[in-house]
Amino acid sequence: MLEQDDALATWRLPELPGQDRRPVEAVRIFDHRKSFLSYQGPLRAGRGEVRIVDSGDYDLIEQTDQRWVVLLGGRRLGGCFMLESKQGQEWSISAAPCRRDDSEPRRS
């Protein structure tokens, strides 16, 4: 979940991406309310559970309809990562090179 204005842009990941730049499947799901930043537990109607895997800051380096590049500063995941749209709701996430002028993440 990445905070964008009054909502959280959200993707479902089967695993965390590594620094090896191997793409990991990511499914873009609907934006969530900010209250989900601190929520862990069951979803309504038996649709699964929310689990916080990491938290921290991020800096949005690039954003288009097809690609987001972010500099993450999480407790478990840090560095530049690229989310790329493949088809429909199917995306992938992988480590990406950071530009020299990218610095520490500034956004929560």
What does the H/E/C string look like for 28-76?
A: EEEEECHHHHCCCEECHHHCCEECCCCCEEEEEEEECCCEEEEEEEECC
Q: Is the pLDDT of residue 106 over 80?
A: no
Rounded to whole angstroms, how far apart are CA atoms 59 and 39?
22
Average pLDDT score over the chain:
88
- The reported pLDDT for the residue numbered 48 is 85
Kindly indicate the confidence band of residue 101, based on its pLDDT and cuts at 50, 70 and 90: low
- pLDDT higher than threshold 80 for residue 100: no
SS3 of 94, please? Answer: strand
What gap in Å lies between CA 107 and CA 87, rounded to an integer?
28
Predicted TM-score (pTM) of the model is 0.82
pLDDT at 87: 94
CB 14 within 8 A of CB 91: no
The mean pLDDT value for 91-96 works out to 96
Please say if the pLDDT value at position 104 is more than 70.
no
Work out the pLDDT band at 10, boundaries 50, 70, 90. very high
Mean pLDDT calculated for residue range 53-76: 93
How far is residue 42's CA from residue 49's CA, in Å, rounded to a whole number? Answer: 4
Confidence of residue 42 (pLDDT cuts 50, 70, 90): very high
